[in-house]
Amino acid sequence: MANIISDETIEYVGILAKLELSDEEKEQAKADMGRMLDYIDKLGELDTEGVEPMSHVFPAHNVFREDVVTNGDTREELLANAPEQKDGMFMVPKTFA
């Protein structure tokens, strides 16, 4: 049961993944993803009827704390990592035309 990945699927997944692949990378991605899904399809052999999906091995519960600031002001250090900054803020490309 070979999975054939269409151009449309790769295009769509590229949008979800926020990746822009070259034509060559797209062909490679189609082949790779098809093979991986063929392999993952092996899980279909197992009957999991009535088995609850397990996201965490131990019971997960929310961890609450008081809404109190405990960290200091590291704005300068944080902004130092930004590709572009201006007036103490991150610079981003125009988002509205």
Partner 1 sequence: MTITDMTALQLAEAIRAGRTTAVEAAEAMLANIEAKDKKYNCYVTVDAEGALTQAREVQARIEAGELDGALAGVPVAIKDNMCTAGLLTTCSSKILYNFVPTYTAEAVRNLQRAGAVILGKTNMDEFAMGSTTETSAYGATRNPRNPEHVPGGSSGGSAAAVAAEECFFALGSDTGGSIRQPAAYCGTVGMKPTYGTVSRYGLIAYGSSLDQIGPLTKDVADCAAVLEIIASHDAKDSTSIERQDTDFTSVLTDDVRGMRIGVPNDYFGDGLDGEVKEAVLAAAKTLEEKGAVVERFDLSLVEYAIPTYYTIAAAEASSNLERFDGIKYGYRTGEYEGLHNMYRKSRSEGFGAEVKRRIMLGSFVLSSGYYDAYYLKALRVKALIKRAFDDAFARYDVILGPVAPTTAPRLGESLADPIKMYLGDIYTIAVNLAGLPAISLPCGMDGNGLPIGLQLIGDCFQEKKLIQTAYTYEKARGAFPAAAGEVE
Instruction: Kindly list the residues in this chain that would bind partner 1 in the complex (CB under 8 A).
Output: 9-10, 12-14, 16-21, 25, 29, 32-33, 35-37, 39-46, 48, 51-58, 60, 62-63, 65, 74, 77-78, 80-84, 90, 92-95
Instruction: Kindly state the smallest distance separating residue 86's Cβ from partner 1, in Å.
Output: 13
Whole-angstrom CA distances from 22 to 29, 68, 82, 93 are: 10, 47, 27, 23
In the complex, the smallest distance separating the C-beta of residue 87 from partner 1, rounded to whole angstroms, is 16
In the complex, least distance from residue 95 CB atom to partner 1, rounded to whole angstroms: 5
Q: Write out the E strands in 7-48.
A: none
What's the half-sphere exposure (Cβ side, CA atoms, 13 Å) at 67?
Answer: 0
Q: Which is nearer to partner 1, 2 or 54 (CB)?
A: 54
Question: Whose CA is closest to 75, among 67, 66, 85?
Answer: 85
